[in-house]
Structure 1
């Protein structure tokens, strides 16, 4: 109850603080540049200046916070990448040489690439299929709500749920894990799913696909509803079947939205961390770049230099996709 009360008070104070800043900053601006009295020329000048400043009263704090929380860490990571374990001894390019000769890094990079191939493709595909199917049934909105529900769960919370699905019990105990219970029911042998090389990565990917399919479904469902009915009707009159309408009519018209959804999930996958940490603690060949960065920077005494180098690798991978995603989204908006 104490934590709940603290959270509630924090929310109330935050809202009240924003409201006070909103009214207070506008009040001071109107006092400094009055627009209700004085000569017409001066009022016009004050109005012009006030209208120029006013947006920055609200954008200013956000810009400052973004500058501090985004640009400063990037610059600090670049600096640390040239320093040793403690972040005080200059070592030049030693950390970069270690990076490209480390088997651990190549394993993490390979796993990340595997995640990149599977998760965005699977989540976007299932989201598109579900969006198409649920628009054709009367209980489609209920189905969409259920499929979107995992989006409200944190990655750690989702990992706890799926740990019960993959759970394994030894010594002849009853299998409480859903997957092993099904295997035993059909006469098979229970498995420690999360320790099976290569396959354990796919078992972890299922969790993120489960979470992100709802996101893809909502965005693609909105895009599908934007397709003109006349296009579908013309295809039906021309004798096209359901698959042809979907593949040759609907998908090409929302291809831009599909690409944006795919790249958005790709950016998330490049930074995946919570699921791997909560499920396997990056053991049994499941390490990814973010977990390796965390391990080097905070575990075993910490090595800030090597952790910073891995962080820069993640940033270099994310930036081009993010830029392309923003440009594509802008093109979509301008096209509409």
Structure 2
């Protein structure tokens, strides 16, 4: 552990010094190539303008290079790979795309992803908004917010392990250690294999992500609610509006941009959901989602790089427009304030 900490610390120090040296050397080189010493005023002015135009690109150069290497190139390589067979060595044209259009498991994964998209972002945003409003009205609201936000500090795998114990099933005649089955048995019901129940098991998995992400939605929306001018709420109270009307007609419209950003941020996360399904069911019992299907085709059963590339492109195509809209919306909100 100590050696790992020392190695990490050394890597950070080396990286910082390397960046500082690069910026210093590149700036010096720019000044040598385009000098601004005494002489022709026009030339000095032209060199200063050229320096001002080039310098930002010099400083952004390493970041742009890394972006090309780790983002642009993989996208292009994945697109090309989607036209090749499982080994990536033989060109098969649109065969992988035809497979995606006709494969039952692929369609099931699309359906499950749509189900997740319909439930999780809406539930997280709704619960986050309601909790943000309620906790602002009680004296122990900050304590409640801390407890609700706490699952955000847990990894998806860790959260899944916790909920696996909640859904645990030990047979009809066994002692139920799963919390949910213990409660059902206490009230006279029969224990169930919750994560194997068709359709419903998807919702049981969604609960885990809702439990984690509600805290995120609550924090962001709570900050937005605090930014609402008190004058508008006071005016509504004077006009005779009740609490429900104030919430829906005064508060929500003023933070609608923030609600949309929270919604789309969680939507992007849902499109990439992987850890929860892998840990809880490994995609069994019709719980497979696109990310898990991509993982299966790429790394299991000998691997099929062509079909996994198709799934990766579909996930990227679904995430990209939402991400672009989210960034623009966030920029507009910051510009408005």
Q: Is the TM value for this pair above 0.5?
A: yes
Q: Distance in 2 between matches of 1:85 and 1:281?
A: 22
Instruction: Structure 1 unaligned segments of length 5 or more: list them.
Output: none
Q: Is 2:157 aligned against 1:156?
A: yes
Secondary structure, counterpart of 1:87 in structure 2: coil
Q: Is 2:203 aligned against 1:206?
A: no
Q: Distance in 1 between matches of 2:258 and 2:213?
A: 15
Q: Is the 8 A contact 1:256 1:332 kept in 2?
A: yes
How far 1:249 sits from its partner (Å)? 0.4
Decide whether aligned partners of structure 1 residues 26 and 76 sit closer, same or farther in structure 2, where only a CA change above 3 A counts: closer
Q: Distance in 1 between matches of 2:44 and 2:153?
A: 50
Cα deviation, 1:202-241, whole Å, max 9, x if unaligned, reads 0000011111111111111111111101001111111111
Q: Is the 8 A contact 2:281 2:287 kept in 1?
A: yes
Q: After superposition, where does 1:221-232 map in structure 2 within 5 Å?
A: 221-232=222-233
Counterpart of 1:10 (choices 7, 10, 15) is: 7
- The count of aligned residue pairs is 333
How far 1:70 sits from its partner (Å)? 1.2
How far 1:246 sits from its partner (Å)? 0.5
Q: Is 2:38 aligned against 1:39?
A: yes
Q: Is the 8 A contact 1:26 1:54 kept in 2?
A: no
Q: Distance in 1 between matches of 2:158 and 2:56?
A: 39
How far 1:45 sits from its partner (Å)? 6.8
Cα deviation, 1:164-214, whole Å, max 9, x if unaligned, reads 111111263321111111111212111111100000000000011111111
Decide whether aligned partners of structure 1 residues 88 and 37 sit closer, same or farther in structure 2, where only a CA change above 3 A counts: closer
Q: Distance in 2 between matches of 1:179 and 1:43?
A: 77
Q: Is the 8 A contact 1:158 1:207 kept in 2?
A: yes
Decide whether aligned partners of structure 1 residues 269 and 50 sit closer, same or farther in structure 2, where only a CA change above 3 A counts: same
Q: Is the 8 A contact 1:30 1:50 kept in 2?
A: no
Q: Judge which range, 144-153 or 33-42, deviates more.
A: 33-42
Q: Distance in 2 between matches of 1:43 and 1:159?
A: 64
Q: Is the 8 A contact 2:172 2:190 kept in 1?
A: no
Secondary structure, counterpart of 1:125 in structure 2: helix
Q: Judge which range, 236-245 or 41-50, deviates more.
A: 41-50
Counterpart of 2:22 (choices 22, 25, 31) is: 25
Q: Is the 8 A contact 1:84 1:91 kept in 2?
A: yes
Q: What is the aligned partner in structure 2 of residue 254 from structure 1?
A: 255
Q: Distance in 1 between matches of 2:12 and 2:49?
A: 30
Q: Is the 8 A contact 2:26 2:58 kept in 1?
A: no
Q: Distance in 2 between matches of 1:284 and 1:155?
A: 20
Secondary structure, counterpart of 2:10 in structure 1: helix
How far 1:61 sits from its partner (Å)? 2.2
Q: After superposition, where does 1:154-303 map in structure 2 within 5 Å?
A: 154-170=155-171, 172-303=173-304
Q: Is 2:130 aligned against 1:133?
A: no
Q: CA RMSD in A?
A: 2.2
Q: Judge which range, 15-24 or 148-157, deviates more.
A: 15-24
Q: Is the 8 A contact 1:130 1:217 kept in 2?
A: yes
Q: After superposition, where does 1:311-326 map in structure 2 within 5 Å?
A: 311-326=312-327
TM-score (norm 1): 0.92
How far 1:263 sits from its partner (Å)? 0.8
Secondary structure, counterpart of 2:102 in structure 1: coil
Q: Distance in 1 between matches of 2:329 and 2:3?
A: 43
Q: Distance in 1 between matches of 2:234 and 2:44?
A: 58
TM-score (norm 2): 0.92
